[in-house]
Amino acid sequence: MGRYGGFPEYVPVSVKKERIRKQVARLKKKNPNLAPIVIEGSTIAKTWWGKAWNQNLELYADYSNRLARGRSYIRSGAVVDLQIEAGLVTALVQGSRRTPYEVKIEIDPLAENQLDSIAKLCDQKIADLEQLIAGKFPKELAEIFTVKGQGLFPTNKEIHFGCSCPDWASMCKHVTAVLYGIGARFDSDPALFFTLRDIDFHLLIKKTIDQKMQSMLKNAEKPSSRVLEDPDVFALFGIEGI
């Protein structure tokens, strides 16, 4: 029991960060591939993809108090390792005990028909891969990507998680910290968003181009009122048809 009526003793953020820094150094001796989340300042994510991920997370949040604790954890550097692969995030989060808690988050893949629908709406608005990764695209495209329940970002029902901590809550603060950590990781490598959602962004761009070409071909097959028939052409130039 803590000194304050059962509550843990307050530990300054600077002290927490130093403890975690030492823990990361110890863990890296065993695992050189450790990838901690380091937040500079109070802003968790600065790029378009990172911000959009975190905003989407908050759209579906039913645990506002857990989100606040998660933000506190991520800012203190508690996510000492975060690995992203197709549909899966594994992480280590430093809590009150010496050994970090293990967090696992699974993301359902984007449905093929949903990706086709998004590609159709893009309608050649994506010029190249660099533009897509940098998040420098038209505002209407950003809205297409982030529309609730229909865009590229997962709903709460498509996110499944677990943590080795004893917290009874379905979404503990360690899981929430990792969810925010995913957004922060997109700052350094936005392409990881497509890895996580198991989307080939080369294919996304190809789909938009293919669909545009199909649309152009269909239009080309339709007779146009601007095309003159042979007798009209003859009449235009004062020539009698043969």
The answer to whether residue 224 is domain-embedded is no
What is the pLDDT averaged over residues 61-76? 81
Give the domain extent around 177.
13-217
What integer pLDDT is reported at residue 209 of this predicted model?
58
What integer pLDDT is reported at residue 233 of this predicted model?
42
What integer pLDDT is reported at residue 236 of this predicted model?
46
pLDDT 10s digits, 112-128: 888 888 887 877 677 67
Confidence class of residue 38 from pLDDT cuts 50, 70 and 90? very high
pLDDT 10s digits, 170-183: 789 999 999 999 99
The answer to whether residue 27 is domain-embedded is yes
Q: Are 182 and 89 in contact (CB under 8 A)?
A: yes
The answer to whether residue 229 is domain-embedded is no
The phi and psi torsions of 160 (rounded to 5 degrees) equal: -125, 135
Q: Let me know the angle formed at the C-alpha of 203 by 198 and 205, rounded to the nearest 5 degrees.
A: 120
pLDDT 10s digits, 152-164: 999 888 999 999 9
What is the pLDDT averaged over residues 225-230? 51
What integer pLDDT is reported at residue 196 of this predicted model?
95
Per the model's pLDDT, the better-predicted residue between 51 and 226 turns out to be: 51
What integer pLDDT is reported at residue 23 of this predicted model?
87
What integer pLDDT is reported at residue 216 of this predicted model?
53
The answer to whether residue 236 is domain-embedded is no
The answer to whether residue 204 is domain-embedded is yes
Residue 1 has pLDDT above 80, yes or no: no
Q: Are 182 and 173 in contact (CB under 8 A)?
A: no
- Report the number of distinct structural domains present in the chain: 1
What integer pLDDT is reported at residue 192 of this predicted model?
94
The answer to whether residue 96 is domain-embedded is yes
What integer pLDDT is reported at residue 189 of this predicted model?
93
Residue 125 CB burial class (10 angstroms; 0-12, 13-18, ≥19): middle
Residue 231 has pLDDT above 70, yes or no: no
The answer to whether residue 205 is domain-embedded is yes
Per the model's pLDDT, the better-predicted residue between 128 and 92 turns out to be: 92
What integer pLDDT is reported at residue 158 of this predicted model?
92
In the predicted model, what is the mean pLDDT of the chain?
Answer: 81
pLDDT 10s digits, 203-227: 777 766 555 555 555 655 555 555 5
Ordered alpha helix ranges (H), 76-200:
112-122, 129-134, 139-146, 173-188, 191-196
What integer pLDDT is reported at residue 2 of this predicted model?
47
Residue 4 has pLDDT above 60, yes or no: no
The answer to whether residue 222 is domain-embedded is no
